[in-house]
Amino acid sequence: MSRAPGFLAIVFALLCGALPARAAQDAALERGTAITDPATLRELDGGKFRLDRMLLPERPADIPLANSELFAVPSMAPVRQAIDGEFDRYVARHRANLAKGTIGVGEGFDFQLFDRALLYSAETRFMLAGIVNRMDRTYVSEASCGEIRLIYRLTRMNKAAGDNASPPRLPMTLNLVLKAKGEGSTITCSKIANRWLAAPLGGTPAAKDGPLDLVGHENIDRIETNLQIAHAPKSSVRDFRTDYLLKVFRYDRDARVFAESPMENQIDRARLLADDGLKREFRAWLLDPVNLVAFDRGAALIPEKFLASGAIAPTPVGFDPSDLEPEFGLVQGEGAVFSEADIVAALRKAVEGGVKLQNIRSPAGFERRLNDVTCSGCHQTRGIGGFHFPGVDWMAENPSNTTVVPASPHFFGDQIRRRDILASLRDGKTPDYSRGFASRPQLRGSTELAGTNYYDGWGAHCYVQGKPAASNDGSFRDWTCAEGLTCQAAGKISRIGMCFVKSR
């Protein structure tokens, strides 16, 4: 499933701003599933949902902690230590491949490293940039009714007026993941879902009986960070490149610290390929019919023994083998975990057992799913750079103009499915937690996405249909384009492309 760098550069450019804004449609898609109104976020950030008050609820409301103080809080010490370790390893790894001194902070370096001083500065803090309902993840923990995510963006607090070269928002998000239902709470998942779906536009979500009424510091489960650790401008020897560091820190209530943790479904490729015993165990686990069905539906939870505690997601993908998707080296090739024969046999066994697979109908589909269930693979698919939710800049003079959309095409394309699951939870029905590939969302019977770049409109991901029809891959043959558009792929490496206007 390797992709051509030139094609990826086109995709990256399109998804980072070349697509026309659809503000009204986006607002409709996120209703009941996210809070992105600038005025509302400003108000919430000024109250108990400010990051330092969530971590330290006894903090006074009028004195926000700058990051220099935030990372001095004992619970955050392991976060800083782990991030510093990742920086040191990143620099050492790249200096082994590049001439000494080509990676650093400031002018004169080929690779511009993120300035860690800004992360721990008295001049920066994390500002609330959005709130997202993830009750579609109730299958992970039914007792918690899924998750509510408070997404914060690293921001300069004392940017000089007129300093256009120094934007206030910095390329890092911190995601405070909360349990939708706190321990000891008697509210049902049905009532929580109803509060979100019934919340009026422009209302006060933290008011009594509002969607955030019962959400507080006691709901905290973990912190997830996404940091643009380095970037390299386009030059005569390389295309542009941006690397994003992804980490997870689960809250240890006994120790009262955020401890570095394995990332959900982030396969530790290097460790698997180096350990034949672990490789065989992982192959047997994933190809087991029960696990294969959950994997097909995007709801598998891979055991932690196979997972990594950090990941670098390069954008765009395709510069050299070490930059390829997480499944690179796991499928096909000498020493790979899965062979085509393994996959074909497992799929046949599942079908013969009466299972109707929704997404994976070929080795290529298996390979793509193996990529997009991982944190890094998902962030490389239909993101805005390496982010799915950059969020709203409510500090700007005119927030509606400074942020065209708060989130990526992947985020908006998934809202139909998330809202459908919320409605099932509200109505006491058994939800369908399945999801399509990250590139192609499920419609769930809705027509809201038809003709848009999120599904089959201009710029949507698609599959170049071949003749005869039998030659089309069963995992992707339904990825067609709306009327008047045709699927175009760059080169002959892959038949996955994008929908564009038919040439005359």
Share of the chain above pLDDT 90, in %: 67
Give the model confidence (pLDDT) of 404-453 as tens digits: 578 999 999 999 999 999 999 999 999 999 999 999 999 999 999 999 99
Residue 318's region, left for phi above 0, alpha for psi from -120 to 50, else beta, is left
Average pLDDT for 396-411: 71
497 falls in which pLDDT band (50, 70, 90)? very high
Please tell me the predicted confidence (pLDDT) of residue 4. Answer: 36
Average pLDDT for 129-135: 96
Average pLDDT for 226-249: 87
**How far is Cα of residue 121 from the mean position of the Cα atoms in its chain?**
26
pLDDT higher than threshold 70 for residue 63: yes
Share of the chain above pLDDT 70, in %: 85
95 falls in which pLDDT band (50, 70, 90)? confident
Ranked by mean pLDDT, the top range of 60-64, 249-253, 310-314 is 249-253
CA-to-CA distance for 312 and 121, rounded, in angstroms? 24
320 falls in which pLDDT band (50, 70, 90)? very low
pLDDT higher than threshold 90 for residue 22: no
Q: Are 375 and 311 in contact (CB under 8 A)?
A: yes
Please tell me the predicted confidence (pLDDT) of residue 97. Answer: 63
pTM over 0.85: yes
Containing 230, the helix (H) or strand (E) segment is strand 220-232
Average pLDDT for 483-503: 88
pLDDT higher than threshold 50 for residue 102: yes
321 falls in which pLDDT band (50, 70, 90)? very low
Give the model confidence (pLDDT) of 271-293 as tens digits: 999 999 999 999 999 999 999 99
Q: Are 139 and 432 in contact (CB under 8 A)?
A: no
Please tell me the predicted confidence (pLDDT) of residue 331. Answer: 84
Q: What does each C-alpha distance from 488 to 69, 147, 474 come to in angstroms?
A: 51, 38, 19
CA-to-CA distance for 17 and 337, rounded, in angstroms? 38
Average pLDDT for 168-191: 95
Give the model confidence (pLDDT) of 23-38 as tens digits: 556 667 788 899 999 9
Q: Which residue has the higher pLDDT, 257 or 319?
A: 257
Q: Are 431 and 138 in contact (CB under 8 A)?
A: yes
pLDDT higher than threshold 70 for residue 7: no
Please tell me the predicted confidence (pLDDT) of residue 278. Answer: 97
Please tell me the predicted confidence (pLDDT) of residue 233. Answer: 81
User: Amino acid identity of 4?
Assistant: A
**Mean pLDDT of all residues in the chain?**
87
Structure tokens at 384: 């805005």
Please tell me the predicted confidence (pLDDT) of residue 16. Answer: 40
Please tell me the predicted confidence (pLDDT) of residue 311. Answer: 94
**Residue 228: phi, psi to the nearest 5?**
-75, 95
Least confident of 2-6, 339-343, 373-377, 492-496: 2-6
Average pLDDT for 97-126: 82
User: Amino acid identity of 490?
Assistant: A
Please tell me the predicted confidence (pLDDT) of residue 213. Answer: 94
Beta bridge partners of 39: none
Q: What does each C-alpha distance from 35 to 61, 377, 479 come to in angstroms?
A: 22, 26, 30
Structure tokens at 21: 């804004």
Average pLDDT for 136-147: 97
3-class DSSP state for residue 331? Answer: strand
Please tell me the predicted confidence (pLDDT) of residue 319. Answer: 38
pLDDT higher than threshold 80 for residue 322: no
Query: DSSP readout, 367-386?
Result: HHHHHHTSHHHHHTSS-BTT
pLDDT higher than threshold 50 for residue 21: no
